[in-house]
Amino acid sequence: MIYLKLFWAFFQIGAFSFGGGYAAMPLIKQQIITTYHWLTINDFTDLITISQMTPGPIAINSATFVGNQIAGLPGAFFATLGCVLPSCLFVTFLSWAYNRYKNLSILQDILESLRPAVVSMIAVAGIDILFPAVFPSGSLSFLPGQVKLRPVLYFAAALFLLRKKKKDPILVMVLCGVAEVTAQLLMPGI
């Protein structure tokens, strides 16, 4: 039952992604690539790219996108529902508890310990997106022929614009895309 699978896969993503934003990315990757093989790593990378360029949380975007790709509109509905339901239950419960007890200290301790783990997992997901783009073999290697020059240049330029010039991430990504389109049009086959 594909709808149930979609619902359950994204329910777990919704239930275990603490910290917002990129924190859901490692879980999404685990569920839709490792566990269910719903997307290739290329499609997943495109999905993250698209998510960056549209409003809306990565988890919801992924649920709707994967659901649509796998089982059409009903698939998108069940995946998205699964993704949001844990939030609805958990946050509503906490809001209720807060209204009664007005105390959040345990919650904040847990969150504090989750943050370092989440940072590391986002780093791993980022590496898994970056390495296949830069190294044809998919793993770290600086031998001649084992590094793709243009993506390395884009990566370095993007880091410079983000860190030193404080440019908007969406603008930086679009510039990388435009640079690659221009390069392929001007120098086909290289």
Q: How many residues sit in the footprint of other proteins (CB under 8 A)? A: 100
Q: Which tokens hold the place of 38?
A: 């719903």
Q: CA-to-CA distance for 72 and 174, rounded, in angstroms?
A: 29
Under rule CB under 8 A, residue 9 binds other proteins: no
Sign of CA dihedral 164, 165, 167, 171: negative
| x-or-dash string of contact with other proteins, 49-88, rule CB under 8 A | xx-x-xxxxxxxx--xx--xx---x--x---x--xx-xxx
Among 4, 74, 92, 136, binds other proteins (CB under 8 A): 92
The window from 1-9, 23-31, 139-147 that contacts other proteins (CB under 8 A) reads: 23-31
CA dihedral 59, 57, 108, 119 (to 10 degrees): 70
Nearest distance, CB of residue 119 and other proteins, angstroms: 5
Can you say whether the dihedral through the CA atoms of 54, 55, 59, 62 is positive or negative?
Answer: negative
Q: What are phi and psi of 100, to 5 degrees?
A: -85, -45
Q: Looking only at residues 99 through 138 of this chain, which bind other proteins when binding is defined by CB under 8 A?
A: 102, 104-127, 129-130, 133-134
- Residue 8 binds other proteins (CB under 8 A): no
